Amino acid sequence: MLRRVAGAVALLALAVTSMLAVGEVTDRDARAARPADAAPRDSPSPTAPPAPASPSVVPVAPPGRPDIVLILMDDFSLELLDTMPEAQRMVAEGATYDNAFVVDSLCCPSRASIMTGQMPHQTGVLTNTPNDGAHPIGGYEAFAAHGNGRRQFSVTLQDSGYHTGFVGKFLNRYDGGVVDGALRPPPRVPGWTDWEALLGSAYSGWGFQSTFLDEDGRVQLREHPKPPRSSSVARLDRAYAGHVTARRAVKFLEEQRAGVAPYFLEVASYAPHGQIEKAYPDSPQFPSAFRDRAPAGDPTGGNCGTRPCGDLTLGDLVGYDDPRADNAPTYLLPGGRTAPAPPWRTNELTLSDKEALTYYRDRARMVQSVDRMIKQVREAAGPDAYVFLTSDNGFHLGQHQLNGGKGAPYDSDSRVPLVVVGPGVVPGTRHQFVNNIDLAPTFEELAGVRTPRYRSGRSFADSLGDPDAPGAHYAFFEHTYAMVQPGEVDADRGSGGTIDLIPSYLAVRGEEGLLVRLDLDPSWTGTDYAYELYRYDRPWEDTNVFAEDHDEPYARDLMRRLRRLEDCAPARCRAAVR
């Protein structure tokens, strides 16, 4: 069944690519062309993109076309932002969005949505791994098979004259292949003038490969050897993936100073994602640079930025150790009646308080190298560049009594930092809802580039210069259940990960609450819908109130919007958040 399902998605992706070439497709036609069985019921197949819309007005751009930098962190949870001095300077000087969310709190689907401005059911990138190599539903294989390369915002920027650069982590499974015993580079990705992706071996921090483009534009590999563990701290840290990423990003920016074309640069760190394999026998699960580590035997030492590491406590993790008993989902029966549904959080909580606190402090040490990179990038880019700081998803570490990981619709996983500095940006907090699919149209609007109608996100560029500019009032999430497959980097085994416990779901988040429709049937053919509803007059998602509140006005509003989200075409997706 999985092969037939994924094959249908692949065929539709070819049709989508053809539609891009031949002209406009309406949202109604796109929905009609979509096969009903092309993907899991909670994750319909890719939507056919219509023709580009008319150009937008650039609200706050300086004379000329602006330079833009996106700094994208990996598995970054909000409590870490307070430990980063340069990030806090960005907060003081720029626009901070306190309702910024990701459409799927899982690495590859989230990154594909950032690149394309589309929902996962439109990109076809539903998981981190392909599941079926011939008909992939996740990883770089699905991203390429569904034609997403040509739908990246980098393509529209590059086609309009931007010099585009990429440094760091791209997508899961974007790696070289072994041919005749030798590692061969991965394929070139459209839309990027300079391409320096660090391959998956960089998860461990040391001993990895990166890519570069030769004079003929072909992807080549660069080796970054692992120094002996006995090397000096300076040598070890020079080879650290985070520091290599920072140097390559600064090099790109310095080379652009003499250029006449505007540039866009994405800098994507691997931090603070956990390691996949240990680079050294004494590597912690979240390996920071050596200069930031605690001395042996001192768990409160090391560099945690703005705070002493010993001051970081489990009380900083909002919702930590919240009992599960009142979180079980609820069935909605005919006539508006409700009944308890079986809980999906059935795993044993193996993460101890000591382990959770160790991981939290190690993650705080790990992001200090990211903070130094932010400072270096800002200095190299100068005050006339827009710099965006965000993450691909959050990370739970004992919240809701879940072991370490991501994928859930809750604040710990879905809410991310979003801070922007640059010319004309008015400092202060914005309360508009922003989703990561909104980044692509925002970059395009700032650049004065047509935003294609197949983007499901909405630009929030107006709010950079006007904190009170109208914006979205809701955020949507969708997630596809999949058992952990070989090559899954987000199993988070070192922290007792629960990625293959979380069912498929659709969810909508508003100011008053979060409504989640879970599919408790793990098969690709059936459905078993149940609901969780949480009110935000409470500090976190502590109690499912669906049984008592499902007929309240705010809950009915969320239900209407959730139904509009399912299988939405781009225009319908955009309209549903207002």
Domain positions in the chain: 2-318+353-475
State the chain's maximal CA–CA distance in angstroms: 70
Closest CA to 478 of 528, 437, 430, 513: 437
Tokens 């935000």 -> residue? 536
> Rounded distance, CA 51 to CA 32, Å?
17
pTM flag (> 0.85): yes
Query: What crossing angle do the helices spanning 353-381 and 85-93 adopt, rounded to 10°?
Result: 60
| 546's tokens | 């669906």
At residue 274, the pLDDT reads 95
Q: What angle do CA 388, 393, 399 make, to 5 degrees?
A: 130
At residue 183, the pLDDT reads 83
| Interacting residues of 333 by C-beta distance below 8 A, sequence separation 6+ | 339
> Rounded distance, CA 325 to CA 427, Å?
42
Per-residue pLDDT of the chain (578 residues; tens, 9 = 90+): 333 334 444 434 444 443 343 333 333 333 233 223 333 333 334 544 443 443 444 334 344 799 999 999 999 999 999 999 999 999 999 999 999 999 999 999 999 999 999 999 999 999 999 988 788 999 999 999 999 999 999 999 999 999 999 999 999 999 988 888 888 999 999 999 999 999 999 999 999 999 999 999 999 999 999 999 999 999 999 999 999 999 999 999 999 988 889 999 999 999 999 999 999 999 999 999 999 999 998 999 999 999 999 999 999 999 998 988 999 999 999 999 999 999 999 888 889 999 999 999 999 999 999 999 999 999 999 999 999 999 999 999 999 989 999 999 999 999 999 999 999 999 999 999 999 999 999 999 999 999 999 999 999 999 999 999 999 999 999 999 987 777 777 777 666 667 788 999 999 999 999 999 999 998 888 999 999 999 999 889 999 999 999 999 999 999 999 999 999 999 999 999 98
> Rounded distance, CA 31 to CA 16, Å?
12
The sign one gets for the Cα dihedral 373, 377, 380, 384 is: negative
Q: What angle do CA 15, 18, 23 make, to 5 degrees?
A: 120
Alpha helices in 119-275 (DSSP H): 120-123, 139-145, 153-159, 233-238, 241-256
Give CA separation, 83 vs 90, 394, 505, in Å: 13, 16, 33
At residue 64, the pLDDT reads 79
- 514, 536 in Cβ contact below 8 A? yes
Class of CATH domain 2-318+353-475? alpha beta
- 414, 102 in Cβ contact below 8 A? yes
> Rounded distance, CA 192 to CA 158, Å?
7
Question: In this structure, how many other beta carbons lie within 10 angstroms of the beta carbon of residue 33?
Answer: 15
> Rounded distance, CA 10 to CA 16, Å?
10
At residue 8, the pLDDT reads 40
Phi, psi for 360 (deg, rounded to 5): -60, -50
Give CA separation, 233 vs 240, 289, 290, 373, 551, in Å: 10, 9, 6, 18, 60
At residue 496, the pLDDT reads 64
Alpha helices in 146-258 (DSSP H): 153-159, 233-238, 241-256
As a three-state string, the secondary structure of 513-578 is EEEEEEECCCCCCCCCEEEEEEECCCCCCCCCCHHHHCCCHHHHHHHHHHHHHCCCCHHHHHHHCC
| 14's tokens | 């070819």
Beta strands in 291-392 (DSSP E): 330-332, 338-340, 385-391
Q: What angle do CA 239, 298, 276 make, to 5 degrees?
A: 40
> Rounded distance, CA 266 to CA 72, Å?
7
Residues comprising the chain, all counted: 578
